[in-house]
Amino acid sequence: MITRKLGRLGWPVSFIGFGGIAVQRLTEEEAAVVVRAALDSGVNFIDSARGYTDSEVKIGKGLKGFPRDKVYLASKTMDRTAVGFLADIAKSRSNFGVETIDLYQLHNVKDEQSLAQVLGPGGAMEGAEEAIKRGWIRSVGITGHVTAILEKAIATGRFSTCQFPFNALETRVLDRLLPACVEQDLGIIVMKPLAGGAFGPERAEKALRFFLEYPVSVVIPGMDSLAQVEENCRVGREERLLTAAEKEELQTSLQELGEQFCRRCEYCMPCPSKINIPLAFLLDGYWSRYNLQGWAVERYMAMPVRADACIECGVCESRCPYDLPIREMLKEAHVHMEDPGLLQDK
């Protein structure tokens, strides 16, 4: 497996990493087998999150007995306070069964208020500095979907890595965010390299090879089978750039996929009815693409305002840069989440 430096940290991370969200749908034993197969195939970067239910525990099972110094372990927290940040690290260390987590990230920082909180007095960055002193973590990074917020965050110089969605369908990061990360020598971690599952198995290899010509450190597709491990890791071993013909083929595939899916840019917000539109579509994506129906429905039902509260005012659609039929998509998302039994008809 080829390796690239994780920015100024200098850690030699495998080009293909392991995204931890998909193991939620496996048993602990199944997940351990998949994780170990990835490690044996040359993967040395694993990413999870406190929000991924039992993902950390399952990854920990796969790590048991594997040389700790042969893998870079990353996780993340949604907590914005120093106290909460430290508490989540303690949980993650216990779940993984390790003393030190290499990289701990602020998860989905998406607005000015959240960024100000994590950087301010009593904020998560204070917790990160304390955790580094204690030897609980080695470095801190940030993740998100709103490029403008990430640009402001990394401009502070307080983060070692930046994780964001980037794929052949979503290339807006090429304008400013990616160059800014390169200029500051940040480790660049690519999430959703397969567009949240929009690229099927027949397109996955080319979609991953797409990144070989870009200055990213590590790409973290989710993997929940030995076949996926082998297919994904082959890209990192062979290091074959896309040919002109393959690029044309991939573009044709993109045209077939269409543009009707949420990129979580959040331009549609705020909703007059207070629906968290990107979250509804994110959960619907887990329902339809990740085979995490139960997980998605549980979180959807916990939303303070669900998609059926839409009054069809159309304000969101007037703001959407992708011209998505948001009102119809909200109706479809609610149908999926309200009646999981519809799976029997698929």
pLDDT mean over 60-80: 97
pLDDT of 196 above 70: no
pLDDT of 263 above 80: no
- According to DSSP, residue 63 is labeled H
pLDDT of 338 above 50: yes
pLDDT of 214 above 90: yes
In this prediction, residue 345 has a pLDDT band, given cuts at 50, 70 and 90, of very low
How many residues does this entry show for the chain?
346
pLDDT mean over 111-121: 96
pLDDT of 233 above 90: yes
pLDDT attached to residue 346: 38
Domain edges within the chain: 3-250, 277-345
pLDDT of 40 above 80: yes
pLDDT attached to residue 323: 84
Inter-CA distances, 184 with 37, 140, 156, 316, Å: 34, 15, 10, 35
pLDDT of 61 above 60: yes
- The predicted-structure confidence for 145-192, as pLDDT tens digits, reads as follows 889 999 999 999 999 999 999 998 888 899 999 999 999 999 999 998
Task: Give residue 50's Cα distance to chain centre.
Answer: 12
Rg (CA), the chain: 19
- The Cα–Cα gap between 130 and 251 comes to 47
pLDDT mean over 20-32: 93
The angle at the Cα of 266, spanning 223 to 153, to the nearest 5 degrees, equals 80
Domain 3-250 has CATH 3.60.20.10: no
pLDDT of 344 above 50: no
What is the pTM (predicted TM-score) of this model? Answer: 0.83
Q: Which of 49-53, 75-79, 285-289 has the lowest mean pLDDT?
A: 285-289
In this prediction, residue 203 has a pLDDT band, given cuts at 50, 70 and 90, of confident
Inter-CA distances, 211 with 42, 48, 166, 194, 234, Å: 18, 21, 9, 11, 14
pLDDT of 52 above 70: yes
- The Cα–Cα gap between 230 and 232 comes to 6
pLDDT mean over 44-55: 95
Task: Tell me the pLDDT of the chain averaged across its residues.
Answer: 92
